[in-house]
Amino acid sequence: MSYTAKQVEDFFKRIDNLDVSQEPKFGKMNACQMVCHCTDFFRMAIGNKKAHEYGTINPTEILELSSSGQTVAAPKGFGQIEGEGTLPTNFENDKTILKEHIREFSNLGKDYQFAEHPYFGNISYDRWVELAIYHLNHHLKQFSV
């Protein structure tokens, strides 16, 4: 599994349709925080941002929560509401940074050595891509884009 050019462009269009004043359909983050939260996911994947705890939550519990549509707690060190994630700056600039990270992630080869995931440990390229697509879709739907 890998990102296709069409998937990347579709994500970019959805991100471009985000507006700073949009209210979330669920959750507590505002649009600015959500954009930074999504960028932090990619920073985590490549090892530029690390969680404060690893392996403290059962991965099965995470999968059950996400598959039932419930909120999954952000790894410690990534919570926007708690002030642990990257702070928003300028909304349009933050959207550009997110798109840059998506493009960089989508260009990584299958042999790329990803960082350890705080919940799932060392996971494959395909699993990281699957998580990235799921995570972006989840949060863009949160803001109806």
More confident residue, 38 or 77: 38
- For the purposes of burial, counting CB atoms within 10 Å of the CB of 91, is it exposed (0-12), middle (13-18) or buried (19 or more)? middle
CA-to-CA distance for 18 and 2, rounded, in angstroms? 25
pLDDT over 70 percentage in the chain:
91
Question: pLDDT digits over 39-85, tens only?
Answer: 999 999 999 999 888 766 776 777 776 676 667 778 888 989 898 99
CA geometry: angle at 121 spanning 119 and 125, to 5°? 110
Return d(Cα 111, Cα 124) in angstroms, integer.
9
**Per-domain residue ranges for the chain?**
5-142
Query: The domain 5-142 is classified under which CATH number: 1.10.10, 1.10.3470, 2.60.40, 1.20.120?
Result: 1.20.120
pLDDT at 141: 94
Cβ–Cβ under 8 Å, residues 115 and 47: yes
**Which of 4 and 100 is assigned the larger pLDDT?**
100
Q: What is the mean pLDDT of the segment spanning 98-107?
A: 96
Q: Give the mean pLDDT of 118-139.
A: 92
User: What confidence score (pLDDT) does residue 87 get?
Assistant: 95
Q: Residue 47 and residue 17: Cα distance in Å, rounded?
A: 29
Determine the pLDDT at residue 72: 75
Question: Would you say the pTM of this structure is higher than 0.85?
Answer: yes
Residue 75: the pLDDT is 84
CA 67 to chain centre: 17
Does 118 have pLDDT greater than 60? yes
User: Residue 110: what are its φ and ψ, rounded to 5°?
Assistant: -60, -20
